[in-house]
Amino acid sequence: MIKLHPEVLKKNGVNEFVILPYDEFVALQELLVDAQDLTDLREAIRVEGGAPTISLEELKTELGV
């Protein structure tokens, strides 16, 4: 887990914005992308879980690679 060091900016006494160091922002973006990938993978498995499959070696043979 990444350690965040946010700075909160207020507007009229209410939290309005958060500023993060750039490296923490990038790390957070990467975590969000990974989380979305995992969600997408789980959905694909749910939808296509019973679909027939072949191994990579079988596919290479089939394609003549």
pLDDT for position 25 = 97
pLDDT value for 14: 98
Rounded CA gap, 31 and 44, in Å? 20
Mean pLDDT, consecutive 10-residue stretches, the chain (65 aa), reads 95 98 97 97 92 94 94
What's residue 1's pLDDT? 82
pLDDT of residue 49: 86
Cβ atoms within 10 Å of 27's Cβ, excluding its own: 16
This prediction's pTM: 0.67
Annotate the chain with DSSP letters as a single string: -PPP--EEEEETTEEEEEE--HHHHHHHHHHHHHHHHHHHHHHHHHHHTTS----HHHHHHHHT-
The pLDDT score that the predictor gives to residue 50 is: 87
